[in-house]
């Protein structure tokens, strides 16, 4: 921000309390005008679950990339870095209980975020880092700049408490196959060796008509099976991470938080199909997650 703009915008207030506003989650993801992905998908269910969210965009785009036009752009790295710096100046990392990161898009933004994480987390011991390593998908391939996977693997994974790759991203981060369940468990253990406490691997191939989700820890594996729904919309992974984070902060165990999150994501997909709409119906996700806590039970095995 230039000096003249600083002078215009910064001013005192005659009357206000001095206490800092509470913050539960810092969410660093993409932002859309129309549709649901990144923060535009994650924040509505977080608010529904009474989470206070500090939203930092990595992009400002008109819509998801499924349409004939796409307006806006990825935030320039200097602007994105400025927003991160501003969050630190207000002391948000010291008050937040969780940090979520998702789509960076550009290599520069990934590097700027890694710089910020490395400088910030040592002074924010109460904030857990939830890393959604957005790189691509099996039916699209990668949709981020080359080199971003290396930043995620080498600079962000060591700081994450939980990482949530889909099968394609798990393969990209480990160089191992991960579409099948046994392969996904082995690849997840390779990620655990780099620092995280948990890997939630999703979009794993199950029996015909089914998808498998796995929560892999150092000595345990939790497994869920859910029906495959033939609908291609953005935002499902973002909602999964958001709901899981929110229920953990509400005191649920990790497997119960994931159980609720899967119920919420599946209900959003069902509503999308039933109502014939072209974007994920994120508004129903939190309500379903609260209501249907036992819809997709899990099986636990020792690693």
Q: In this predicted model, what pLDDT tens digit does every residue of 101-115 receive, in sequence order?
A: 999 989 999 999 999
Residue 11 lies in a domain: no
pLDDT at 281 over 70: yes
Residue 244: its pLDDT value, please? 98
Confidence at residue 18, expressed as pLDDT on a 0 to 100 scale: 83
Using 50, 70 and 90 to split pLDDT, how confident is the model at 137? confident
> pLDDT tens-digit profile of 232-258?
999 999 999 999 999 999 999 999 999
Q: Is the residue at 129 inside a domain?
A: yes
Domain contains 286: yes
Distance CA 89, CA 177 (A): 42
Q: Indicate the pLDDT class of residue 5, thresholds 50, 70 and 90.
A: low
Q: Is 285 helix (H, G, I), strand (E, B) or coil?
A: helix
Whether 6 is covered by a domain: the verdict is: no
Q: Is residue 46 part of a domain?
A: yes
Q: Are strands 198-205 and 162-163 parallel, antiparallel or unpaired?
A: parallel
Question: Does 7 have pLDDT greater than 70?
Answer: no
CATH number at residue 282: 3.40.1190.20
Q: Containing H/E element for 200? A: strand 198-205
Q: Is residue 4 part of a domain?
A: no
Tokens of 106: 């550009």
CA distances from 284 to 36, 41, 228 (A): 13, 12, 19
The domain total for the chain is 1
User: What values do phi and psi take at 142, rounded to 5?
Assistant: -70, 145
pLDDT > 60? residue 78: yes
Which band of pLDDT confidence, cut at 50, 70 and 90, is reported for residue 143? confident
Contact 285, 243 (CB under 8 A): yes
Q: What is the mean pLDDT of residues 164-192?
A: 97
Q: Specify the pLDDT at position 285.
A: 98
pLDDT for residue 61 = 97
Range of the domain at 145: 22-302
**Is 12 domain-assigned?**
no
């Amino acid at each position: 921000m230039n000096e003249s703009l600083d002078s215009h915008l910064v001013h005192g207030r005659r009357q206000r309390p001095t206490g800092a506003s509470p913050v539960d989650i810092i969410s660093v993801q993409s932002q859309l005008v129309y549709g649901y992905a990144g923060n535009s998908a994650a924040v509505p269910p977080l608010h529904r679950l009474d989470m206070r969210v500090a939203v930092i965009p990595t992009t400002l785009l008109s819509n998801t990339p499924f349409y004939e036009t796409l307006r806006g752009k990825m935030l320039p790295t200097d602007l994105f870095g400025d927003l991160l710096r501003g969050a630190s100046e207000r002391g948000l990392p010291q008050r937040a209980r969780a940090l979520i990161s998702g789509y960076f898009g550009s290599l520069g933004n990934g590097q700027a975020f890694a710089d910020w994480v490395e400088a910030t987390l040592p002074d924010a011991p109460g904030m857990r880092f939830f890393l959604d390593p957005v790189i691509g998908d099996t039916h699209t391939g990668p949709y981020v700049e080359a080199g971003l996977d290396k930043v995620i693997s080498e600079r962000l994974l060591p700081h994450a408490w939980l990482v949530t790759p889909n099968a394609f991203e798990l393969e990209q981060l480990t160089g191992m196959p991960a579409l099948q369940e046994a392969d996904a468990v082995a690849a997840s253990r390779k990620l655990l060796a780099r620092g995280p406490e948990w890997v939630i691997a999703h979009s794993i191939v199950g029996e015909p008509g089914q998808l498998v989700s796995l929560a892999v820890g150092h000595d345990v594996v939790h497994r869920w099976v859910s029906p495959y729904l033939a609908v291609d919309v953005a935002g499902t992974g973002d909602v999964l991470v958001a709901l899981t984070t929110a229920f953990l902060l509400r005191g649920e165990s990790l497997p119960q938080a994931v159980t609720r999150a899967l119920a919420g994501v599946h209900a959003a997909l069902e509503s999308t199909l039933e109502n014939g709409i072209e974007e994920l119906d994120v508004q129903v996700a939190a309500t379903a997650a609260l209501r249907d806590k036992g819809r997709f039970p899990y099986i636990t095995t020792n690693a």
